[in-house]
Amino acid sequence: MSTPSIVDLVTSQLGPQGIQALGQQLGLDPATTQKAVSAAIPLLTGGLAKNAATPQGAASLHQAVSRDHDGSILDNLGGLLSGGGGDMGGAILGHIFGNRQGGAADGLARTAGIDAGTAGQLLMMLAPVILGALGKMTRTQGLDTGGLTDVLNNSHAQAQAQAPSGLGAVLGSLLDQDKDGSMVDDLARMGGGLLGGLFGKK
């Protein structure tokens, strides 16, 4: 049995109606919306996958997702896609990308052929969906930290393979802030707030 994928779960949850709702909210046609979503997912899964690249990061993310993200948000995608959850999405993006949040939006905008403001809004809308999918899979599949890491790595590879061309360079430059070729140390710095702040806010 293959490792389950966040991409498959998010895609099935969104469906054509979800893509249409996103497009209406963002002022995009369905084809452009689909392209933008296909480019946004690997940006988000890439950040999370690199956060889970160390045993400590994987354990912290697993604990946080298990506690605070049970997947119930997926049951109310209509409200989220109609503009709700912006504050939550913005907080998630800030913790994943740190001061590169604007760079993520710019990279997505260039790849998908949309403006940066729209790209940023899309990332804010999708971030809670990605975490909800991860939380749901953690709960329903009984994933331990190793399983969570496998899911993130598998999902990120699938998302990259399905993404529009040109995203790879954007993703690499975004996650490797100090240009040393290692994204793990950069995500460790950016992920401190993610693991210790956003998910541990209770």
- Give me the helix-helix angle, 167-175 and 30-51, nearest 10°: 30
pLDDT score of 1: 45
pLDDT score of 75: 77
Q: Which residue range(s) make up the domain with 157?
A: 6-198
pLDDT score of 77: 77
Residue 123 to residue 107: CA distance in whole angstroms: 11
117 and 153 in contact (C-beta within 8 Å)?
Answer: no
Residue 40 to residue 108: CA distance in whole angstroms: 6
pLDDT score of 200: 41
Longest Cα pair distance anywhere in the chain, in angstroms? 42
CB proximity list for 63: less than 8 A, separation 6 or greater: 199
pLDDT score of 190: 38
Question: Measuring CA to CA, which residue among 9, 29, 151, 162 is closest to residue 77?
Answer: 9
Residue 174 to residue 97: CA distance in whole angstroms: 8
pLDDT score of 171: 65
The answer to the question of residue 1 being in a domain is: no
Residue 121 to residue 89: CA distance in whole angstroms: 9
pLDDT score of 168: 64
pLDDT score of 83: 61
Residue 90 to residue 198: CA distance in whole angstroms: 11
Q: What's the total number of domains in the chain?
A: 1
pLDDT per residue rounded down to tens, the chain (202 residues): 455 688 888 888 888 888 998 999 999 999 999 999 988 998 888 878 877 888 888 888 888 788 777 777 777 777 677 665 567 788 878 777 777 788 889 989 988 899 999 999 999 999 888 888 888 888 888 999 999 999 888 888 888 888 777 666 666 666 555 443 333 343 334 333 433 344 443 3
pLDDT score of 184: 38
Helix H segments across the chain?
Answer: 6-26, 30-51, 55-68, 77-81, 86-97, 101-112, 116-141, 145-162, 167-175, 183-193
DSSP 9: H
Residue 127 to residue 183: CA distance in whole angstroms: 20
The answer to the question of residue 99 being in a domain is: yes
